[in-house]
Chain A
Amino acid sequence: MKIADRPIADRRCFAPRRSVFVVVLLVAAGNVIVGQPPEALPIKIGFIAPLSGPNAQNGRDILNGFLLYLQEIGSGVDGRRIDVIIEDDEAIPAVGLTKTRKLVERDKVHLMAGALLSSTGYALAPYIDAMRIPMLYPVVSADDLTQRRRSKWIVRTGYSGSQPNHAFGEYAYHTLGLKKVATIALDYAFGWESVGGFQRTFEAEGGLVAQKIWCPVFVHDFAPYLAQIPRDVDAVYALFLGRSALQFMRQYQEFGLKQRVRLIGAGTTTDEHVLPFMGDEALGVVTALHYTAALDTPANRKFVAAYRARYNRVPSYYSESMYTGAKWLVTAVEVVHGNVEDSATLVDALRHVKLTDAPRGPLELDDYGNPIENVYMRRVERVNGQLQNTVIETIPRVSQFWKYNPADYLKQPLYARR
């Protein structure tokens, strides 16, 4: 802070040019001398998520869920207070890596949690492995993190991108009765893997993905992409999130497509982080995900009520991800009796947690470190004046490998753009 304040308060600081570097080094030295006591009493958890930029809302939701759970447990675990150190990764992998270095090397956190984008997830993995710090990914859904590029120190409690879509492909063919589908999705790993998973099971059952349209992540106008949609398909599968989801829904209706071609999609397209800002254009859209705020179970009703009371908004799957993630962390810390300094034992405990009463339903990890959890088929409906993702079918205990044999599955290449 010294450096930032000085030039503003005192312009003369610029004049002796040597002082800039001297201050730099003094600040550096000061921090080292003060340092941290080697055996700090609180359990320190480092948290990163995008808290600014286009993905700020998703990051904020993740953080809110985390803080809500910590507030519920109150004092801490095994007599040790929990300190959370929060950093903003701006949804840029490079920044995420820099901030993680800071949390691990400067703040000396015992545990890490967070990250939103797959790219950030991949960027952190080698560093996390090298530093041997257990890290929990509540959201990052890159398939290969628990498939072909597994990490010993990273525990994923969210889902793999293709996981709900494997179930959805089969459901779309048999229950929704769709035979021919076009897809339109954001052009990055999450889009490719979700669409790839859907296409695999949908076509295995006999359906056909007639066309795959990819939109750049920073797309502003969907007109050129909507014009490419063939008119003879039974449905359009859409994958968007945040601003792009709102824009897509509106333009899909304005183009007169909503009346003509049925809309289905990935869970994020109608997730609660955007649903309250949508209108009638979202009604009837069927999507698949491992969570919906409208899930009618005691655990979820309690979570939604607490979340609404504290933040005055409906929780999204991002909010639930780190609420459950925090519960997961705390359960593991209890198993090791608060001895978080022994990171090898801790990561082992993290791998063997089983939750039965999470808001989304029961979850546990498979042998590859990905959750086995329910996948919900949801339809957007208006209930009491508000849009919600009503559960129309529950597919229990879905694994990232769907019904395939893991060894055979892993011989296939990762879902890519083509």
Chain B
Amino acid sequence: MKAVPFVAVILVMLIAGPPFLASYWVGLLTQMLIFALLAMSLDVLLGYTGLPSLGHAGFFGVAAYAVAVLSTTYHAGFWTCVMSGILIGTLLSTLLGLLVSHVRDVYFLMITLASGMVLWGLSYRWIPVTGGDNGISGIPRLDAHAGLPFAGPVAFYYVTLLVFVVSASLLALLVSSPFGFTLRGIRENELRMKSLGFNTWLHCWVSYIIAGAFASVSGVVWAYYNGFVSPTYLDLTASSELFLMVTLGGPGTLVGPVIGAGAIVLLKNVISAYTQRWPLILGTFYIITMFGAPQGLWNLGRRRRASS
């Protein structure tokens, strides 16, 4: 609960700031929020349940593709697109969850890696539907599609902020509920949780579904923000970058992934404008963080304060 004042300050800045920023920065903030939500959803698995998923960008991508296909090929309405995007992503995580939630550790890593690659391959190869390598462009703008009275990047930002705040609140409720504590118990010692009578398999499955659902929400928002989807959004690079956002920011917290996502989106966009060697700088940043703050940036401050 120590995070409350920090979160409040950031929230006020996020609400009050954007009208005074140029459209480029508003766009960047929107991207940060979308990826922050995605990173938080992965953290339910990675940080809270202790399940390292390397295919999480798959759900994000599937939801984004659902919106893209329905809105361009079938000219579906706004709510049909949004609900289908979230539903298809969640349904997929329900099915894949059945496969993966009885394995742990490196086996979990391998199976999620493989499922992520399958989804990527599908987007790349199912050309009549996904357009293959070319992706799908021409997704209608949010204001036009949803019939909103206001348009432009600032309006889109506030819609994203609303989705983000609602989702983050739901996730915060989830992780502080008895269910959330059970997940942490599984992370710490699954055998003990089993012997206490918890159905750990069911808990892992449900946490996988929840993570998939929130990833789908961010995928839907992303499709509207970007106006374009392509296989690169769900490939291994995307999934591992997501993994880095969580580990960098601080797994097992909700603020950590937000910091990680914000930092990486910002670093990628800002440094790359100054030098072509930006992956080198980003890599150095990762390594230094892993040495200096192995539990993530957010946990570092917390641990230090607790010890002093």
Please report A residues at the B interface, Cβ cutoff 8 Å. 1, 3-4, 7-8, 11, 14-18, 20-21, 24-25, 27-29, 31-32, 35, 51-52, 87-88, 92-94, 97-99, 101-102, 105-106, 118-119, 122-123, 125-127, 130, 142, 149, 188-189, 217, 416-417
Contacts and interface: CB of A to CB of B under 8 A. Distances in A.
A189 B134 contact: yes
B271 to A, nearest CB: 5
A35 B21 CA distance: 10
Nearest to B127: A417
B228 A123 contact: yes
Interface in B275-292: 276, 279, 281, 284-285, 288-289, 292
B137 A123 contact: yes
Given A8-B284, A118-B134, A142-B134, A28 B276 contact: no
B127 A416 contact: yes
Given A1-B274, A4-B267, A105-B22, A17 B135 contact: no
A14 B230 contact: no
Contacts of A98: 269
21 contacts: A1-B274, A3-B263, A8-B288, A14-B292, A14-B300, A16-B301, A17-B300, A17-B302, A20-B259, A24-B266, A25-B13, A28-B25, A102-B273, A105-B23, A119-B133, A119-B134, A122-B228, A123-B137, A127-B227, A189-B133, A189-B134
Contacts of A11: 288, 292
B228 A25 contact: no
B134 A122 contact: yes
Contact of A123 (B135, B267, B292): B135
B197 interface: no
Contact of A17 (B227, B259, B273): B259
Contacts of B24: 101-102, 105-106
Contacts of B133: 118-119, 188-189, 217
Contacts of B23: 105
Contacts of B22: 31-32, 35, 105-106
Nearest to B250: A17
Contacts of A20: 259, 263, 297
Q: Chain B binding site: helix, strand, loop or mixed by DSSP?
A: helix
Interface in B9-30: 9-10, 13, 17, 20-25, 27-29
Contacts of A52: 276, 279
B228 A126 contact: yes
Contacts of B20: 29, 32
B74 interface: no
A93 B292 contact: no
Given A17-B300, A94-B232, A127-B228, 11 more contacts: A8-B284, A8-B285, A14-B289, A24-B262, A25-B17, A28-B17, A31-B22, A87-B273, A88-B272, A106-B24, A126-B227
B226 interface: yes
Closest 10 interchain pairs by CB?
A105-B24, A17-B301, A106-B24, A188-B133, A119-B134, A93-B230, A28-B25, A123-B228, A4-B281, A94-B232
B13 to A, nearest CB: 6
Contacts of B293: 14
Which of A7, A11, A17, A119: most chain B Cβ within 10 A?
A17
Given A21-B10, A51-B276, A94-B233, A7 B288 contact: yes
Contact of B269 (A35, A102, A149): A102
A140 to B, nearest CB: 11
Contact of B25 (A8, A16, A32, A118): A32
Contact of A88 (B138, B227, B266, B276): B276
B304 A15 contact: yes
B197 to A, nearest CB: 38
Contacts of B274: 1
Given A101-B27, A102-B269, A15 B263 contact: no
B120 to A, nearest CB: 12
A29 B20 CA distance: 8
A142 B131 CA distance: 13
Contacts of B269: 98, 102
B8 to A, nearest CB: 12
Given A3-B266, A16-B301, A105-B27, A94 B230 contact: yes
Contacts of A126: 137-139, 227-228
B59 interface: no
Nearest to A149: B138
Contacts of B297: 14, 17, 20
B95 interface: no
A189 B227 CA distance: 20
A115 to B, nearest CB: 13
A93 B10 contact: no
Contacts of B233: 94
A66 B129 CA distance: 37
Nearest to B260: A20
